[in-house]
Structure 1
Amino acid sequence: MKKNNVTTCLLFLFVLACTSNQNKSSVAIADSANEAKTDTTKYRDTTTTAGITMGVNDETARFLVDVADVNMTEVKLGQMAKDKASSQRVKNFGDMMVRDHTSADNELRTLAANKNVTLPTSVGTDHQNKINALSKKSGRRFDKACMDIMEDGHEETVRDFNRNKDNKNADVAAFVNKMLPTLQMHLDSAKAIKKALR
């Protein structure tokens, strides 16, 4: 009888753990996984030891997680713009978002794998809420709201990338500096389209 109680208790704890993870966003799960890794690697931050690539510090891991979340968000928003926008310029911008952020995400995922950083597999809760709210709009209201989100998002992303231009990890710094001109161009385009929609 005791064995059944122990088995039941273990099964309950397993179900509870699974349910807990389902309630967490993919971003929070990735952050937790990376924190556990950095705890065990003592914040190693560079490439050494016979060419074996080591992980990055917690701050850089968090930055890479945020970039992955942004890339997935921009791809979703871009696809929505292509499908729902009434303005051809917004549709074209959406196409550019899908193309550029898919490419950036592929490069990021290779970099993160080399640095032993876990990335989210789906859009985080905050960004998903913005996507859901935008999906309820249509016509000109959709176009304006979409470009508001695009401008705000790119301003924040450009700021984050500028903060990481001189990242201690040379591979991360190289990725950041490669992506910055494209992100700045996206921001400039978003501002111009938003102004034209007034």
Structure 2
Amino acid sequence: MKKISLMVMVALAACSFQACKSNKDSKETADSVNAAKDTANAVNAGMAVAEDDAKFAVNAANGGMAEVALGKLAQGKAVSAKVKEFANMMVMDHSKANDELMALAKTKNITLPDSVGMDEKKEMDELSKKSGKAFDKAYVNAMVDGHKKAVNLFEDGSKNLKDADLKAFADKTLPVIKGHLERINAIHDSMK
């Protein structure tokens, strides 16, 4: 048994090292590590969930971290009081959800990304170059798009997750994300 565990650890280390060399972003790296854990599951060294459930957790964590980072950016750059208020809500609500997801992932041995993915970093870089009303408009558009994707992710998770704890997290978080989407759509409509 020790020999099998050692082989699994060596395989995970090799996957992690390979992920670093291949310029993968942290989201892709987490997916790769989780895939390796999933194949190791037969020897009790893997995750306590199916690989698709782990992918949901990785995508939810990546999206949540992006919402917090973009919210912090908007707290400093937005000019509209409504946009700043929304940004504050993003930081508070998504930080809370991220903390819950991290604690849950730890109990399930799911590796989550340690920073936002490359696409989200690119979006933050683009937004950080804007100021004034142009920033507000771009941020609001990004929030509408991001929350539409998040609603789809969490609706799919609510229907298809196999792990009861992850499903409960998706069920609990989905109404909050839908509320965010309604709020940002109202802000978006008021800017026209």
Structure-2 residue corresponding to 1:12: none
Structure-2 residue corresponding to 1:10: none
Residue 24 of structure 1 and its aligned partner are, at CA, apart by 2.1
Residue 28 of structure 1 and its aligned partner are, at CA, apart by 1.4
Count matched residues.
173
Structure-1 residue corresponding to 2:36: 36
The reply on whether 1:81 has 2:74 as its aligned counterpart is yes
Structure-1 residue corresponding to 2:162: 168
Instruction: Say which is worse superposed, 165-174 or 183-192, in terms of deviation.
Output: 165-174
RMSD between superposed Cα atoms in Å: 1.8
- One of 132, 144, 150 as aligned partner of 1:151: 144
3-state DSSP of counterpart to 2:158? coil
Distance 1:128 1:56 in 2: 28
Identity, % of aligned positions: 43
Structure-1 residue corresponding to 2:8: none
Whichever residue aligns with residue 126 of structure 1, its letter is D
Residue 18 of structure 1 and its aligned partner are, at CA, apart by 8.4
Whichever residue aligns with residue 68 of structure 1, its letter is A
Deviations 1:110-144 (Å, cap 9, x if unpaired)?
11011110000101001110111011111111101
Structure-1 residue corresponding to 2:179: 185
**Structure-to-structure mapping, 1:9-24, within 5 angstroms:** 20=21, 23-24=23-24
- One of 84, 92, 98 as aligned partner of 1:99: 92
- One of 137, 140, 159 as aligned partner of 2:130: 137
Whichever residue aligns with residue 134 of structure 2, its letter is R
**Runs of 5+ in structure 2 lacking a partner?**
1-16
Residue 17 of structure 1 and its aligned partner are, at CA, apart by 5.2
3-state DSSP of counterpart to 1:164? helix
- Which structure: larger Rg? 1
Distance 2:65 2:155 in 1: 20
Residue 19 of structure 1 and its aligned partner are, at CA, apart by 5.7
- 8 Å CA contact retained: 2:82, 2:187: yes
Q: TM-score, normalised by structure 1?
A: 0.83
Q: TM-score, normalised by structure 2?
A: 0.86
**Runs of 5+ in structure 1 lacking a partner?**
1-15, 45-52
Structure-1 residue corresponding to 2:191: 197
Distance 1:19 1:178 in 2: 34
Whichever residue aligns with residue 183 of structure 1, its letter is I
The list of structure 1 runs, each at least 4 consecutive aligned residues, that deviate by more than 3 angstroms after superposition, is 16-19
Greater helix percent: which structure?
Answer: 2
Residue 25 of structure 1 and its aligned partner are, at CA, apart by 1.0
- One of 75, 92, 102 as aligned partner of 1:109: 102
Distance 1:28 1:19 in 2: 10
Whichever residue aligns with residue 37 of structure 1, its letter is K
3-state DSSP of counterpart to 2:114? coil
- 8 Å CA contact retained: 2:50, 2:162: no
